[in-house]
Amino acid sequence: MASNAGGPYALTEEHDAIREAVREIAEREIAPFAAEVDAESRFPAEAQKALTAAGFHATHIGEAYGGEGADAIATCIVIEEVARVDVSASLIPAVNKLGSVPIILSASEELKQRVLPSIASGAAMISYGLSEREAGSDAAAMRTRARRDGDTWVLDGTKAWITNAGVSSWYTVMAVTDPERGARGISAFVVHADDPGFDVGPAERKMGIKGSPTRELYFDGCTIPADRVIGEPGTGFGTALRALDVTRPTIGAQAVGVAQGALDAAVAYTKDRKQFGSSVSEFQGVQWMLADMDMKIQAARHLVYAAAAAGDRGAPDVTRTAAAAKAFASDVAMQVTTDAVQLFGGAGYTQDFPVERMMRDAKITQIYEGTNQIQRMVIARSLLR
């Protein structure tokens, strides 16, 4: 019998207060720059400053490392509310979580103390290096290598599609240490931007999330201290998969946020716009579109929070629930933002309104951290096991 997807969760007064605080910051400090950030393909420095000042840039890091120690739902709320006005900016807290979760899950206490406080304080950001050009969905086929050399590890290879590369100081990187063992021969490492033999490539030119730089990472005899391996050699791929169980709901939260932003814009526009002597919002066809958009967003939000809570509990069905939350919410985001553009008519196709940017930004949520086709395979494998 299929288990209860994610199980119960409860929103607290603290969650409500976090939402209120983040929404105020997002509307005051982030939204005014969102169109400019997109048009200029520049990093949202204003968002980073505002989120860091308020302690919302990495809420998931524990108090032992100078962080807030917020639960997964709180982190999802932060990401959701930022994504409501600018998806690019929401990748600041989202990728700080993605990059640091492998360290939180598997690193030595010494390595945690070395890396996590700088992220918690906002002095540094961290990115996540798993994918390669020929190892995306088939991540275990990676070619980046790491070999032990005395009291160092030496990395050689290239990582692709790395979010916030060039802005981050730290990078969690997966590399093959024992090619004979397949996925069990992959290890995880922490690389610093200043390590010899490390470099980043030029920024990719993308359809959306233009404010979040995406670059390749280059390792050419990149030498790091031996104690920067995360966990035991050979455990890296397992750590990567466990990390995705925890972080996929944050992509769902991003998707819910951009969908909510598009719905809010569509409601306001259709109430204001007049056709045939009436407000467009008075037409039943429009009302049904808005109602469908709202229903899908509500369902996606609940699934995302249930998956986040399942991750915090270490629930046995967390892999399936996290995959479902990510896939469902991102499909909803694409449907809702597309419908929002439609409701704006010709105006929705122009950059005078935010919905065309939201539609472009929403697309990536169906692709990164595992395509939605991969999520469906993960769900089916869990059901059929």
**CA angle, corner 186, sides to 114 and 143, nearest 5?**
110
| CA 168 – CA 316 distance, rounded (Å) | 33
Q: Is 14 an annotated catalytic residue?
A: no
Q: Which residues contact 239 (CB under 8 A, 6 or more apart)?
A: 102, 105, 106, 188, 230, 231
Q: Which residues contact 269 (CB under 8 A, 6 or more apart)?
A: 280, 343, 344, 347, 353
Active-site position among 68, 80, 356, 369: 369
| Tokens 């598009």 belong to residue | 262
Find residue 199's DSSP bridge partners.
Answer: 218
| CA 215 – CA 213 distance, rounded (Å) | 6
Rounded to the nearest 10 degrees, the angle between the axes of helix 355-363 and helix 87-106 is 30
Helix (H) or strand (E) holding 250: helix 236-272
DSSP string, 283-327: SHHHHHHHHHHHHHHHHHHHHHHHHHHHHHHT-TTHHHHHHHHHH
C-beta of residue 115 within 8 angstroms of C-beta of residue 62 = no
C-beta of residue 18 within 8 angstroms of C-beta of residue 12 = no
Pairing of strands 186-192, 145-149: unpaired
C-beta of residue 82 within 8 angstroms of C-beta of residue 261 = no
- Tokens representing 303 are 């699934």
| CA 192 – CA 198 distance, rounded (Å) | 8
Catalytic residues: 369
